Chain A
């Protein structure tokens, strides 16, 4: 069974440019999460999709970030325009059911975003 796939694995862009990150969850997983790890800091929750609906987007930093999950399959996270502080590793995770103490999150290997 394929795991959670993210691409690109690395992206280097200049301040002011646009970048789109993609996540393909495990097939059949209705729940999809985006997290971000800024260097030296903890992994922070960004948002949670249930199928194509945004269940919780309380962690999105500002309106430069737009996440979509059309059709409830893969998801994209667009940053427009990118700022220096957006640099970090963006992780995607999926789960069959909403996270609970017993429901495991499956993570992708992340996209390393560098904004110069």
Chain B
């Protein structure tokens, strides 16, 4: 079945540091890949997505590239801010009538 593996965290970074959160997946066919973010006290919201190999999703300074050869979709940001502190979930959708499959979530804490 489909699965998503991401680093467990928590990840603690100083403001303006570089962020990478690793995500790898197992899926049938060619899934679409997503990063969702959950800020404290809020629901999950879609951060970015990529629907085919070599696509790069980007939003709010975050980027992730769909790497089919390594089955990865790592999340990166060049300079994190305190306001980026949240839990980040990698997810995939395999197409047809399928459910969205999520990873365990990675908690990011950015300190001033």
B residues at A contact (CB < 8 Å)? 4, 8, 32, 36, 38, 41-46, 49, 51, 89, 93, 95, 97-105
Q: In the complex, A56→B96 CA distance in Å? A: 13
B105 and A42 within 8 A (CB): yes
Q: Which residues of B contact A101 (CB under 8 A)?
A: 32, 49, 51, 93, 95
Q: In the complex, A104→B98 CA distance in Å? A: 14
A residues at B contact (CB < 8 Å)? 3-4, 33, 35, 37, 40-45, 48, 56, 59, 91, 93, 98-102, 104-110
Q: Which residues of A contact B99 (CB under 8 A)?
A: 33, 45, 48, 56, 59, 99
Q: Which residues of B contact A105 (CB under 8 A)?
A: 44, 46, 100
A42 and B4 within 8 A (CB): yes
Q: Which residue of B has the minimal Cβ distance to A4?
A: B43
